[in-house]
Amino acid sequence: MTGTFHLAFATTDLKRIKAFYGKFLGCKEGRSADSWVDYDFFGHQLTIQEVPKLIKTARIYNPKSNIPSDHWGIVLSMADWKKLRDKLKKVGHPFFIEPRTVMKGEVGEQVSLFIEDPDGHAIEFKAFPDPENLFKRG
């Protein structure tokens, strides 16, 4: 089976979140209303709904790394990942986790960087030198 991934989450400030996903990341806006918006996030659907209050819980990390367990993201081509990394550096956008190589020399070797959206959602952007290794077992 194949499909398009859908992710929905909340914000307390739809205008601010639109500036981030639409203007800053360049995601194409889809359907929307006064209290929600859909975005094309690299071919996948984000639905972001405005709510009066967000309840944040403490971020939990993988005990063997500094990766937050509550993150989401996208796997890009290496060229697109480098383009995004360079754009983020050029505009001075802060990294939640700096660009780096993960699992160097292993089957799952990849480059990864994390940023946060205005509501603190951790977003990972990654790429594989060998795209065939995305689901390959080591």
- Can you tell me the distance from the alpha carbon of 71 to that of 87, in angstroms, rounded to the nearest whole number? 21
Q: What is the largest CA-CA distance in the chain?
A: 48
Structure tokens at 56: 């944040």
How much is the CA Rg of the chain, to the nearest whole Å? 16
pLDDT higher than 80, residue 138: no
For the entire predicted model, the pTM comes to 0.92
Comparison of pLDDT for 115 and 56, the residue scoring more = 115
Asked if CATH classification 3.10.180.10 holds for the domain at 6-50, the reply, yes or no, is yes
Q: Which CATH class is domain 71-133?
A: alpha beta
- Can you tell me the distance from the alpha carbon of 127 to that of 1, in angstroms, rounded to the nearest whole number? 23
pLDDT higher than 80, residue 47: yes
Q: What is the mean pLDDT of residues 51-63?
A: 87
8 Å CB contact between 110 and 124: no
Instruction: Please report which confidence band the pLDDT of residue 109 belongs to, taking 50, 70 and 90 as the band edges.
Output: very high
- Can you tell me the distance from the alpha carbon of 63 to that of 23, in angstroms, rounded to the nearest whole number? 35
Domain ranges of the chain: 6-50, 71-133
